[in-house]
Amino acid sequence: MRQKLQYLVIHCTDTPAGRPITSQMIRYWHTVERGWKQVGYTDMIHLDGRVERLVNNNDDEWVDPWEITNGVAGINAISRHIVYVGGKGGDTRTLAQKGAMLAYVRDMVKRFPDIKVAGHYQFNPAKTCPSFNVPEWLISVGIEPKNIYLP
């Protein structure tokens, strides 16, 4: 059963700065090593700012069962997940990644005015992912407070 989209959750691959990651690597880590049926993210932002779709979706306000990714246990059926390559040891986003992430977030907020944007760590305090303070960054780039998840 499909559910209304409520969250956009930002993640990092938790890999060293500057190390390229492929979608095939993500798929292997998630489906083979972890045994998941699906990867954890809908889209991935590469070091050069290119956004790659990892799991197809119809880009509407509903999360259909075939669109669900495994980003955060308990909220996957109402979330979309985006990951940037890097994040090991801190915020390693390149300028291109920051620009792509900002454009992505702005587009999601424009298309889904009720969506809340969050970092993975906000739902799982044991995590540091995505290795930067998401609400602080969102405020600094002008995202409206109503779209910023604050537990």
**What is the distance between the alpha carbons of residues 119 and 8, in angstroms, rounded to a whole number?**
8
**pLDDT at 151 exceeding the cut of 90:** no
Express the helix, strand and coil content of the chain in percent, nearest 5 each. Answer: 30, 20, 50
| Cα separation, 96 vs 52, whole angstroms | 14
Total count of domains within the chain: 1
- List, for residues 115-148, the tens digit of each pLDDT value: 999 999 999 999 999 999 999 999 999 999 999 9
Q: What's the pLDDT tens digit per position in 1-49?
A: 899 999 999 999 999 999 999 999 999 999 999 999 999 999 999 999 9
CB 68 within 8 A of CB 76: yes
Q: What distance lies between CA 64 and its chain's CA centroid?
A: 17
pLDDT tens by residue, 43-77? 999 999 999 999 999 999 999 999 999 999 999 99
Predicted TM-score (pTM) of the model is: 0.97
Q: How far is CA 131 from CA 19, 44, 68, 112, in A?
A: 16, 16, 24, 25
Buried/exposed 89-114: b ≥16 CB within 10 Å, e otherwise:
eebbbbeebbebbeebbeebbeebee
Domain extent, residue 18, equals 3-147
Q: What is the CATH number of the domain that holds 38?
A: 3.40.80.10
Alpha-helical runs (H) found in the chain: 23-27, 95-111, 134-140
CA angle 114, 47, 5 (to 5 degrees): 20
